Amino acid sequence: MISYDDFKKLDIKIGKIVEAEKIEGSEKLVKLIIDLGEGELRQIVAGIALAYPNATDLAGKHVPVLCNLEPKELMGYTSNGMILATDNQGSPVLLRPDQQVPPGSTVK
């Protein structure tokens, strides 16, 4: 269990995927460029390629992004956050808002 104060430390915002491409040489990784509002674009690397083989189809989708996670290097690319997904029998499924909201909207 974590406290509510710990939960409040998570900076989760809705981002709009503006670009998505499979990382060459990796069967699982996709490089995403995500608009987090107010002109902020963020590169995130996600292990979703097997579930989303046509990565370019992800452009335009809105997803929750954990923004204050330490950057991580994956196959020479820096990931500056994490998209949130659930698991369906070992395969990731992206979470999405059920209504259109602007990029940068805070998840509470």
Per-residue model confidence (pLDDT) at position 24: 96
Per-residue model confidence (pLDDT) at position 56: 97
- Do residues 12 and 65 make contact, with C-beta atoms less than 8 angstroms apart? yes
Per-residue model confidence (pLDDT) at position 69: 98
Per-residue model confidence (pLDDT) at position 98: 96
Copy the structure tokens of residue 80: 């500056």
Region 10-17: what's the mean pLDDT? Answer: 98
Domains defined for the chain, CATH in brackets:
11-94 (2.40.50.140)
pLDDT in tens, 44-101: 999 999 999 999 999 999 999 999 999 999 999 999 999 999 999 999 999 999 999 9
Per-residue model confidence (pLDDT) at position 45: 98
Neighbours of 51 (CB within 10 A): 17
Neighbours of 62 (CB within 10 A): 21
